[in-house]
Amino acid sequence: MRKRARWFGMAFLVLVGFVVMPSVASPQSSVVVHVHTHAPVVALTFDDGPSSTYTPIVLDILQRYGAHATFFVIGKEAEQHPQLLREIVASHNEIGNHTYSHRVLTHASPEKVAYELGQCDRVVFEATRVHPTLFRPVEGFYDAPLTQRCAQMGYRLVLWNHDSVDWSRPSVAAIVSRTTKNVRPGDVLLFHDGGGDRSRTVAALPHVISVLEAEGFSCVTVGELLRNQQDRPAWWPYFRP
Ligand SMILES: [Zn+2]
């Protein structure tokens, strides 16, 4: 009877190893929406900056709370504010590529994609000596050729799974609610620090960070979130370090 139980146990482990595991331990997706992790970390992301009005306020708030974020900058805006790019990097935040002229790149020619990503990269590198490795497509639109081209150019394509919808200027309470409700480890939150009046975004941000901190989360960059990625579930003891 004990022998039978042992065989059953072994058969179960083999089944888990060969059937279940590949499905949960699939290779890293080239599109990041959420990161699988058990660490209590979430990423804050800001699109469409840098803005001389709002980016310094966001950086101030982040510093005050010991939080960090990824800024997906528009190359043309960044070109006007190289000092802000340097401040983002100096304060241990992160810069991502959001195209040079805020163009949707689905159905775009390879040359257009190379131009839009390449020119934004040039602006960021000239100011900071850092090449971005994360790309956020404008309005979140992407297709297979764009994903492939991004990968060839060394970028991870980063979307989000909590949208503040702050571009529509909702109430501060609505921004806080959308970005703190049902948040799980590895989630990616979307805000905007450029492209319009972002006074409600910066008014909401301290509340967002406070609520998340009270729930035990640390707010980090997307790069840091990816470094916390765990491909296998915690209950699988064999592969645990
Ligand atoms: Zn945008």
Q: What is the mean pLDDT of residues 166-186?
A: 97
Interval 83-124: pLDDT, tens:
999 999 999 999 999 999 999 999 999 999 999 999 999 999
Question: Could you give the CA distance from residue 239 to residue 57 in angstroms, rounded to a whole number?
Answer: 43
- Please tell me whether residue 94 adopts helix, strand or coil conformation: strand
Give the pLDDT of residue 183.
Answer: 98
Query: Which candidate in 34, 98, 162, 192 is catalytic?
Result: 192
CA proximity to 49, closest of 220, 201, 179: 201
Give the pLDDT of residue 122.
Answer: 98
Interval 163-172: pLDDT, tens:
999 999 999 9
Pull the structure tokens for residue 72: 């997906």
Distance of CA 133 from the midpoint of ligand 1 (Å): 17
Amino acid at 219: C
Q: Is 47 a catalytic residue?
A: yes
Say what the pTM is: 0.85
If 0-12 CB within 10 Å is exposed, 13-18 middle and 19+ buried, where does residue 18 land? exposed
Distance of CA 65 from the midpoint of ligand 1 (Å): 25
Distance of CA 120 from the midpoint of ligand 1 (Å): 13
Interval 193-235: pLDDT, tens:
999 999 999 999 999 999 999 999 999 999 999 999 997 665 5
Kind of pairing between the strands at 188-192 and 162-163: parallel
Query: Which candidate in 34, 47, 68, 162 is catalytic?
Result: 47
Distance of CA 98 from the midpoint of ligand 1 (Å): 7
Ordered by where they begin, the domains of the chain are 34-231 (3.20.20.370)
Q: Is 98 a catalytic residue?
A: no
Instruction: Provide the percentage of residues in the chain whose pLDDT is more than 90.
Output: 83
Of 20-24, 65-69, 129-133, 234-238, minimum mean pLDDT range: 20-24
Question: Could you give the CA distance from residue 72 to residue 163 in angstroms, rounded to a whole number?
Answer: 15
Q: Please report which helix (H) or strand (E) contains residue 75, including its range.
A: helix 75-80
